[in-house]
Chain A
Amino acid sequence: MQKLCLLSSLLLVLIALSSCGDDLQEDFTVEGLRPVYIQPEEADTITSLPPQPIGQLGKIYYKDDLIYVGERGEGVHIVDNTNPFSPERIGFIRIPGNIDIAIKGNYLYGDNYRDLVTLDITDLNNVTEVSRLADVYPEVPQNYPKFYSGYFECVDPNLGFVMKWEPATLENPRCFR
């Protein structure tokens, strides 16, 4: 009986200590990633835009004096490189979720989340979608950033679709992997 009592008091102390630990946990800020959301109806809309600010650049592609510079998860900056000493941003093709492109003739192929889209780029100011193959790419995990370990802001599916992850200073992030 005495033993049992000792054990239960020990257990109580342990519980008290562990919950104390939780209460004592201080606020912390840490560098990590946070999701950038897009509304589902916008996710497959391709748009030609004027030059956009550079955020986080991705892959590059070159054809006929033009450099196509990926803006991770958002689309492609078009840079006129006729004079490499003064390259000029002339436009932006918004392709939500985009990472990769390739071009043949006047057609640009790119990933748009799980789909492969074909765009007619004859007129760079008015790029048009000419075809779309659905679900060429596998499903991307929506609730955590792929190939990443560290803190990140938890995903709230009510806010939309995760378009991309961006570096951010996080306060008390609850998600980690």
Chain B
Amino acid sequence: MERVIELVRKEFRQLRRDPNMLRFMLVVPVIQLILFGYAVSTDIKHLRVVVCDMDRTAASRDLVRALGSSEHFDVVAHVDRPRDLDGWLDRGHAAVALSIPPGMARKLDQGQRASVQALLDGSDANTGTVAIAYLSRFFMAQSESLADGNAPDRPGIRVETRVWYNPTLASAVFMVPGAMCVIIGLAATIATALAIVKEREIGTIEQLIVTPISSWELMLGKTLPYLGVGMANATAILLANALLFHVPLRGSLALLMAVTALFLVCSLAIGLLISTLSRTQQQAMLTAFFFLMPNFLLSGFMFPIENMPQAFQWATTILPLRYFLVIVRGIFLKGVGLPDIVGQLLPLSALTVAIMTLAVTRFAKRLD
């Protein structure tokens, strides 16, 4: 253990002298989170709305005026025929197309439920999601104000939304926890791989393996510092979220950190494995990207796994990030506890053990 401590101390001394590496490990992740976070900002105002009012009554005009005066929507145009709405969405000149059918006011007067249709541009998933939320909130408020009057049993107005271009909208709040998972995994894997390959590339590994240090001590000593840095990294990201994005952490912080530590160990093991496959730092970077790209695309971070072809869905089962994402989103957004995440924790642990074993077997304390 003494040798491990000495290696850890050495590693931190070197990190301190390499401000670029420290920046890469601590500052860049926060910047990445901010980029991810703001790119999917939940704070959407002035959505452009195009309206086709076929009812042409005082009630329908009031409805449109109320919509336009809310801070979330701007009514930018009126069209006469419903099919003209399509062009506005197609060209991206409006994000929402509202169609008010003839007879809305009459139905409301007769105490029947009236429906309006909203078409949404879903190509920007977040905007789409937020627009749906705002629209349903708006129409709920409208219905309530109608009900306020002399007829409390009026069913009000219902909005039927249809999303174009991207029918299954990914939720915006999913982005920040997801980004956190991707970022800490990426940083830990690359930092570990580089730390080991760097010693091989500049030749310092030769002096190290001619000592009686064991493979285990060498591996622990080279990975533990990055477990520490990774945890600091996760903390920084959580702080950034608390300060900037306010995605609420509904579950246990301790549980979140514990699972994060497990995922970090898994990421370090991947880094270790990469280091056994690369002779130079450049090779290590390329190999790392080869490992990490599928993680980005297939883990469910960007695209829902359920939408992928069956073969890809099977392939995702070997991605540690896939399980970690579900766990973190669960703890973060649904406030789930340990019993709820066992189904994800088991495969994640199994993968960690498997990757670690593979890395350790490949990591020989020898030059050839």
A binds B: no
Interface residues of B (CB under 8 A from A): none
